[in-house]
């Protein structure tokens, strides 16, 4: 009897320890594991994101004068930035707290959707004013003197491209431009919305460092820049304007220049009738969308390739590794494009599938007529 009692006691003790161990393990895993988007990337709010960003900046091997100029870049990173799959930055801010619940019920469709609302274009004066109104409202609530969506990429960009001249296409409040110039680089910027530059970069507007123009009207001279950056911008450009925009960044990029582009991979909740009802842009028709051009990765690669920008898999993986603090703890995002400028038609338009990704999902459907469409554009421009 005593043996049985002792055995039962030991079993109960063992079971208790197992339960306690499992509970502690679950709590520890919750505490240290980043929340992920549906692309496997961590969201950038909260303790996990803060830790990542601190390490990202503290490990930078930029020149010492760059460190000094960058300051606390992690404080510049907007907590709502959704990145690759969600591109959620700024979506919540268009809604007042009292109306948020009804808008949250709107369905947000996640990509490979081909989204194009019609023949909207910044070349149409009426359309231009509508888009400027939309994005000025957008920036009223999501911009700030220290908001910098691009700054998190500075370490990787400098290590890979060793640039001296940079164009930030879609520079917002020009925080990255200002920081790079303070560090001794020749950085310039363009921003289609007028409000962020007028509110936060009047001095840079006045001296011609930045311009309030859409991407298809870049005012800088040909072959000016070593590096082009554009973070979460291209999905906002109407499809009718995409080729003219890329043609312009190709024009101002030096031969062999690098380009680091990130594009959102989902539609916006504020592009639905229900989602827009109680937003700050409720009066504007949903024919005009915040995310005008949502396309698969291969579509973007074919499009850039037709203009002579080719995928650089090594640079892409370096950016992913550095963003993950030296290891592939997150799957590589399909919305990041690391490119190098070459001669149009000199290389195949290849989508390289990284480790941990499935090819059809990662690359998606391409743009078979891209080269033909771009050739037609060149003929129109030279006529």
Provide mean pLDDT across the span 95-103.
36
Higher-confidence residue of 67 and 259: namely 259
Check residue 217 and report its DSSP letter: G
Concatenate the DSSP letters of all residues of 223-278 into one string.
T-EEEEEEES-GGGS-HHHHHHHHHHHHHHEEEEEEEEEE---B--GGGSHHHHTT
pTM here? 0.72
Q: Give the pLDDT mean for 198-216.
A: 95
Identify the DSSP state of 209: S
Greater model confidence, 67 or 372: 372
Among 10-24, 196-210, 313-327, the minimum mean pLDDT is found in 10-24
Q: How confident is the model at residue 118 (pLDDT cuts 50, 70, 90)?
A: low
Average pLDDT, the chain: 75
Question: How many CB atoms within 10 Å of residue 20?
Answer: 10
Express each pLDDT in 125-135 by its tens digit.
899 898 888 88
Say yes or no to pLDDT of 215 above 70.
yes
Q: Half-sphere exposure of residue 123, counting CA atoms within 13 Å on the CB side? A: 11
pLDDT at 330 over 80: no
Q: Cα separations (Å) of 222 from 56, 230, 255, 379, 382? A: 34, 18, 10, 19, 16
């Amino acid at each position: 009897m005593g043996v049985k009692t002792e055995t039962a006691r030991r079993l109960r003790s063992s079971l208790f320890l197992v339960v306690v161990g499992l509970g502690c393990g679950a709590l520890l895993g919750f505490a240290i594991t980043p929340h992920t988007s549906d692309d496997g990337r961590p969201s950038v709010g909260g303790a996990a994101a803060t830790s990542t960003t601190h390490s990202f900046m503290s490990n930078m091997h930029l020149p010492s004068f760059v460190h000094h100029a960058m300051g606390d870049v992690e404080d510049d990173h907007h907590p709502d930035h959704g990145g690759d799959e969600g591109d959620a930055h700024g979506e919540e801010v268009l809604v007042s707290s009292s109306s948020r619940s009804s808008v949250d019920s709107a369905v947000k469709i996640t990509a490979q959707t081909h989204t194009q609302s019609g023949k909207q274009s910044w070349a149409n004066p009426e359309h231009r004013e509508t888009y400027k109104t939309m994005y000025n409202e957008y920036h009223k609530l999501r911009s700030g003197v220290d908001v910098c969506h691009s700054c998190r990429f500075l370490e990787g960009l400098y290590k890979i491209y060793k640039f001296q001249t940079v164009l930030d296409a879609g520079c917002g409040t020009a925080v990255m431009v200002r920081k790079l110039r303070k560090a001794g680089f020749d950085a310039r910027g363009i921003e289609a919305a007028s409000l962020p530059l007028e509110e936060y970069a009047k001095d840079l507007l006045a001296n011609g460092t930045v311009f309030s123009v859409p991407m298809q009207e870049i005012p800088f001279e040909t072959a000016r820049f070593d590096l082009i950056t554009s973070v979460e911008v291209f999905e906002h450009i109407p499809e009718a304007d995409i080729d003219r925009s890329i043609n312009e960044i190709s024009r101002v990029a030096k031969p062999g220049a690098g380009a680091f582009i990130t594009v959102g991979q989902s539609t916006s909740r504020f592009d639905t009738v229900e989602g827009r009802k109680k937003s700050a842009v409720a009066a504007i028709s949903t024919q005009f969308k915040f995310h005008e051009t949502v396309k698969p990765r291969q579509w973007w690669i074919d499009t850039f390739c037709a203009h002579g920008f080719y995928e650089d898999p090594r640079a892409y993986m370096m950016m992913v590794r550095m963003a993950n603090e030296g290891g592939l703890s997150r799957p590589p995002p399909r919305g990041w494009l690391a490119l190098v400028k070459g001669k149009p038609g000199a290389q195949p338009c290849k989508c390289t599938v990284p480790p941990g990704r499935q090819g059809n999902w990662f690359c998606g459907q391409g743009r078979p007529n891209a080269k033909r469409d771009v050739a037609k554009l060149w003929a129109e421009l030279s006529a």
